[in-house]
A and B are shown apart, each in its own frame.
Chain A
């Protein structure tokens, strides 16, 4: 009886992998787009044949997604691990009473609300500080780093909790200060768990759609500039999936981008499994 649900989960996953993969690979099998074109930086689905179009290169969006995801992990990683250390090592009582509930509320805030805050608070602020349009990489990174904070905090806190108490006591007995104990022992012992936390944070940032789309600016270039508009895989999919004709090459290429998102998630999960296995040795 209870096995039914187990099979529902397994079948759902495999049908999801099958459907997205088959639809994502189709444009390449049917010769609509070549792999080399898809992984190029030339995006111009509405260009006429004389202009060399239409072009379906998604490289700029793939790099854009990687840049926002890694950028937010760079900000959120140290902050999240710091907060987790605060909760477990520095002030467990305040951590449990104040920071823990705060993290739980942060998890619950919907991504459109993050996007809306980005749109009405962060973008105008960046605009007035730097004098650019405000939409762009930096706005995306700021919004995403707040969004992935709870993921990083709760998983790092679990990892730090599982560090044996005896290790800390041994360190204190040798006369080490709390910071020496944290930086020399606790962080090293918990390292695989902390890495897992950051990788999961990257996974979440890479796949986030609406909040990013609302602040990223949505142009087809990749300016390599913190304050210029750009696009990510998710923002291109959200904006165009509804506006393109079913079965057109443009629409099919969007499914290929979804496949890239899916593969990226799988790669990151494999990475986490690899980290976890190393921990057991």
Chain B
């Protein structure tokens, strides 16, 4: 009898834990949106921050920087990640090199982002002589995004049924051709979903960017498309504060009179972006899966 009562109590506890966690998440998102949504309007999203004395203005350049940095990072990470994932899933033989590679992936993906940021400061900012720049930021983000990407690709390739690969081999198709024409398309939903989720992480990263992409943004001229001009938003060698870095900066400096307002609005923007990335990843993964397997 006592065993049954204990079992009931334990089950109740498990339900309470689950409800608590959902409650924390819902509470946090609700709090951020409640605090920040009323700050967000078209001007806030597009305009540059006002002067330090008067406050006001928006986070337009920061929002642009976040997206642009994400694109730059992905241009570097995706091809390398595909290469590394294919290597681990298809070519790597058990041995010393594979062991070292797996250890490298494990260490790199669990390093504190501030340490990666300091490495970026030393190598990509100071050693290359670029100074605080988008390029340095993108390379730094690659350092901990690449191991994540490699894992995503390797796992996605691992879920493709063996028979598909063997059927392709049986038809006399080469290994590389099998990878490109059979394995990659079948693994595509997993790779895309993982990539979008990884992109969400890059979007919100701040600690690794403070000392690499910098904490300030020059006055940008959005009509200037000359990639070498220092005021062009597209110039990869200009300093750029992202949305996440901006939130940290105005909160810790606290000079701007309306710091709290701006931080609330910017946090809400970040959370909305994360939610969109998440929902998009789910929807897109399902869509592609349905297309490829022609199921509904």
Contact = CB atoms under 8 A, between A and B. Distances in A.
Contact of A177 (B7, B247, B271): B7
Given A79-B17, A177-B7, A210-B207, A20 B80 contact: no
A61 to B, nearest CB: 13
A116 B146 CA distance: 28
Contacts of B167: none
A83 to B, nearest CB: 5
A20 B119 contact: yes
Interface string B231-258: 0000000000000110110011000000
A213 B252 contact: yes
Nearest to A98: B22
A112 B271 CA distance: 11
A209 interface: yes
B107 A266 contact: yes
Nearest to B26: A102
A115 B121 CA distance: 23
Given A112-B247, A116-B263, A265-B110, A102 B101 contact: no
A279 B3 CA distance: 30
B143 A12 contact: yes
B204 A113 contact: yes
B204 A204 contact: no
A204 B207 CA distance: 13
A159 to B, nearest CB: 16
A19 B124 CA distance: 12
B28 A117 contact: yes
Nearest to A15: B123
A178 B271 contact: no
Contacts of B116: 16
Given A79-B21, A99-B21, A105-B274, A9 B108 contact: yes
B10 interface: yes
Contact of B119 (A19, A83, A110, A268): A19
A234 B114 contact: yes
A6 interface: yes
A interface, by DSSP: helix, strand, loop or mixed? helix
Interface residues of B, number: 84
Contact of B147 (A9, A90, A208, A239): A9
Nearest to B127: A19
Interface in A140-158: 146, 149, 153
A177 B201 CA distance: 41
Given A1-B83, A90-B14, A214-B248, A108 B22 contact: no
A41 to B, nearest CB: 23
Contacts, number: 235
B170 interface: no
A190 to B, nearest CB: 15
Interface residues of A, number: 82
Nearest to B122: A19
B88 to A, nearest CB: 8
Given A4-B83, A83-B21, A241 B118 contact: yes
Interface of B: 3-4, 6-7, 10-11, 13-15, 17-18, 20-22, 24-25, 28-29, 31-32, 35, 80-84, 86-88, 90-92, 97, 100-101, 104-108, 110-116, 118-119, 121-123, 143, 146-147, 150, 197, 200-201, 203-207, 210-211, 215, 244-245, 247-248, 251-252, 260, 263-264, 267, 270-271, 274-275, 277-278, 282
Given A9-B105, A16-B115, A20-B115, 13 more contacts: A5-B81, A6-B92, A9-B108, A9-B146, A9-B147, A15-B123, A79-B17, A112-B244, A115-B248, A178-B10, A241-B118, A261-B112, A265-B110
